[in-house]
Structure 1
Amino acid sequence: MDEGVTPIGVEADARAVQNAVRRARVGLVDRDVLTEVVALCAVSGEHLLVVGPPGTAKSDAVRRVSQQLGGQYFEYLLGRFTEPNELFGPINLQRLREGVVEVETAGMVPEADIAFLDEVFLGSTAILNTLLGILNERVYRRGNTLVACPLRLCVGATNRLPDDPALDAFADRFLARVFVEPVADARLEELLESGWQAESPAPLMGESLIPALERLSVAARACDHTQVRSLLGIAVRRLRSAGVMLSDRRVVRAQRLVAAAAILDGRSFATADDLWVLPLVAPTADTQVLARETLVDLLATSKNATLLHAAEEFSRGPAARAERLAEAGRLLLDGLEESPDPDALLRIEATLREVDAAFTAEDLPSGLTEVRSQLVTASQAHAAPADS
């Protein structure tokens, strides 16, 4: 592979994933970051833990993204009395009479491309130990049953992180963490409108994107880390010194998130642009905040053209903010051309206010300067009929 050149078709695959995430979040409020991190983890092959109170659309967001990506999806709410066969499949009774233990895994976790397990830490020891093998090795074993699992991503959800040290090893298999809060007061009207309309997720557009995810994953595994490895070492040393405890496993596997971010940003090599993923691997909400503060200078240039909201949230840097605002402006302008929105002027003015609040005229990046100029022109043209 030539330096800096992604494989043919990878850019198209990244755009397809980005469009799938956009479709998934139609009707959702303030869940842009979660939906994008689900996609990032699906490309990296790492698992995601979503932590937040009940009723914060955790399951809805994951379900919507999974529906748009396609493939075999499995979802289950675990409880104290959940039996292993509810997740992995029932014993084949006919074979059992012959003295052979075989499990019928069709439609269950061992054959899923994406699995969502709500209240994941409530599972029994037998369930969690079996899941551990699937998450680590992508293999399910029981008796004479041996299944190579196609699992790309397991999303676990919980209302709070477990206090039991016995669960630490299992929890550590979920590399990325997203902490979800109720929708902010400033967006309550938007939430009420969305909830009243109860908009269903858009149907899957065309074929499953699982093959596209596999191509992106292959490209990510070939990603060149040469330029960023020393920066990763600096970042990890800083985080550990600041009290963000990262196991060696999490440090090594964080490179997979970095590689996936690079590929989704259109590069075959990782750079400082991709370091925004590092706060994701901090284990608690408090340590994620600490990670952002500790790495503020290293994250300043971080951005991602596909995962705009996630890159901005975890870096809190000007480059990611500019990228997200520029894309938001372009989408508004494209929408005006396709079908004028009666609320377009309000949306344009809100975007312009956000741009001007975030950047001075001297600091405005060139790409955002052009978009801002086009938004100003569109705003004037849109307002002119009302003024005449």
Structure 2
Amino acid sequence: MSFKLYIHYIYNKYAREWPVETHGKVRVSAEDRLNVWQLCKTYLGGEWSDVCADDLVIKPAMGGFVNKILFCFLPDSIDHEQVKYPKVVVKYFDVDCFERCGINLTHLLAVNSHYFNAGDDLNPTAVSVLAQKVAKLHSLDMPIPKDSADWHMKIIMDIRFPESDRESYRNGSVRQEIQKNKNDYKTLISLNLLDELDWLRRMCEHIDSPVVFSHCDLNRRNTLVREGGVGPGLDDVYIIDWDWCCYTYRGADFGDYFMNWCQTELDFGGEPFPTDDQMLVFIDAYIREMTAINGNSFTKLEINSRQRLIKEAKVFTLLGYIKEVCYCLKQYGRHGKLEMMPKGEQRLKVYAILKDRILDEYPELQ
């Protein structure tokens, strides 16, 4: 993967701690270390020019599948109180993100928080606050192209899982692993992933979900809950990481939330999809907020009814599942990460169960 690199924000020199957890055992590559040092030396000068690359303390931020962030410190041998910028954040942007002018980070805010988890899914207040925030997001009128739904679907279906990965699935290393361990990959054996991608593309278009300004990556890692509990206001739940936001189908954000509902694992869980009644906590809060923003005319439209939003959420949860299946298989096919194959199987299994439920509940989608 190609990257463009630049200093994204100069961290407050009086802050005592970094606001994110870091990988204790992950080492920064020599190439990254040299790039960061040259960048800081060029744009910051001063003490950054007086140290060598090996003297810098560099820690990678946890998480992130596309872009990456490095937290960089001057060594302790230099008095940080006498330096204007003793700590900096350097972000690598995937070239595609950079050239499409994704959201720019302007500052960092330290929040004592955790990822939205299964316990939060069972907390009506936390779920309602998240739904209200999603509704506010979907109501924004942003000065960007409004016709990007097809582009967004193309990224998911084609760009993120191109022909080389499809061939690995058909006949290459991914297929060989599946065939070698058939008992471990029963769903990958029984379902044709490429057929499912084609069917799902048609289904997402057929359901006619309204196009709104969307986050497009509303996973657990991008939803934070303030430690100490969620109050009635909107300040205790944070949606972060806006790299992929664009105008696309409303259901995309619903699916990204519900595909992780009550999952005990942070990523790629295998817990069952919620019942309709369990979905209503989020759906009803979303409808209330959209009505508050847009007036009673919102609820008068069938396309905004409870039943319609539940249906959209189910179909687009299939899209969320299939995104992660493709990601898991790609990680094995390209990088040999064998641990991702069982995760792909697990996600495809819950996909198959939900698909059967959808086709049973909505015969018109057959």
TM-score bucket (shorter structure) = under 0.3
Provide TM-score, normalisation by structure 2: 0.24
Q: Which has the higher helix share?
A: 1
